A = this chain, B = another copy of it.
């Protein structure tokens, strides 16, 4: 059977689906903490946020003993543990390749900074953009500065927001500069060089979920 490029066998210890669920739990705990909730059972957590209680217990048990019998989880503690597990207990430096509309929007996306991600710079090849700033104040630098900035600033993650045709070349430049983790917003799947991790963000997936809702006559409601 042919192997489709960009795919890989599943052999990692913790799957992407698990880490995605941990992020969702963290988001739920953020909301609970903001609402002043101190403790919560896996069942109530599941019910309030449309999750699966058994899955929550299983996912968390993988990383340690967080529940307390008769109490459930301490919201604040579990939130801190999840941030540690997800590596969010420190600031992570990020660059953005491509200062088009998407790159500029990502540079100023408020959620990133709030979550401990520091957008260090945008990179572009267009002369008229270089030296300009995003509205939020992120400088647009020439692509040739990439290796120097990555090394000096200890940049760990790159977001790719260039046209699809340029994405693979830009990915290779980014990996050569020493970055190992990449989030790709260009449509289409990229071939990740060995030792690197490339995550593709497909914005159509969410639209398809709405299309499904509409196809079934919109027989669902949200409070």
Question: Which residue numbers of A lie inside 8 Å of B, CB to CB?
Answer: 1-10, 12, 14-16, 19-20, 22-24, 26-28, 31-32, 35-37, 40, 44, 46-51, 85-88, 92, 94, 100-102, 104-106, 108-112, 114-115, 117, 135, 156-157, 161, 164, 180-183, 187, 189, 191-192, 194-199, 201-216, 218, 220-223
Contacts and interface: CB of A to CB of B under 8 A. Distances in A.
Copies assembled? 2
Contact of A4 (B26, B48, B181, B208): B48
Closest 8 CB pairs of A and B: A87-B215, A102-B105, A192-B222, A101-B105, A181-B210, A87-B211, A10-B50, A101-B104
B50 A8 contact: yes
A192 to B, nearest CB: 4
B4 A50 contact: no
A106 B198 CA distance: 22
13 contacts: A1-B37, A2-B35, A10-B46, A10-B50, A12-B220, A20-B209, A22-B208, A87-B216, A105-B161, A110-B187, A115-B204, A157-B207, A195-B218
A85 B209 CA distance: 11
A45 B25 CA distance: 29
Residue of A101, A207, A221 with most partner-chain B CB within 10 A: A207
A101 B111 contact: no
Contact of A214 (B50, B92, B207): B92
Contact of A115 (B19, B92, B207, B218): B207
B105 A2 contact: no
A194 B209 contact: no
